[in-house]
Amino acid sequence: MPIYEYLCTKCNKEFEILVFNSSKVKCPKCASGDVKKKLSLFGMSGVEKPFAGSTSAGCSSCSKNSCSHCS
């Protein structure tokens, strides 16, 4: 039972909803079924180290190999 993020294309309301199986999702504001699933960045926020297998050895805010330039 994952929680997904959606955007209603009629009223532009962003919302999260717990989805059971393949149930139809409706906007809680206008009840429209015309919604788009958003790309969730839940697992990505606050990441400062490169992922395993990443080719970049620099820090996240610049292309230097040492983060002493970013402090």
Interval 15-50: pLDDT, tens: 999 888 878 999 999 999 999 999 866 555 555 555
- What are the φ and ψ backbone dihedral angles of 7, each rounded to 5 degrees? -130, 125
DSSP helix/strand/coil, 21: coil
What is residue 28's predicted lDDT score, i.e. its pLDDT? 95
pLDDT at 59 exceeding the cut of 90: no
Between CA 35 and CA 55 the distance in angstroms is 36
- Tell me the domain boundaries of the chain: 1-39
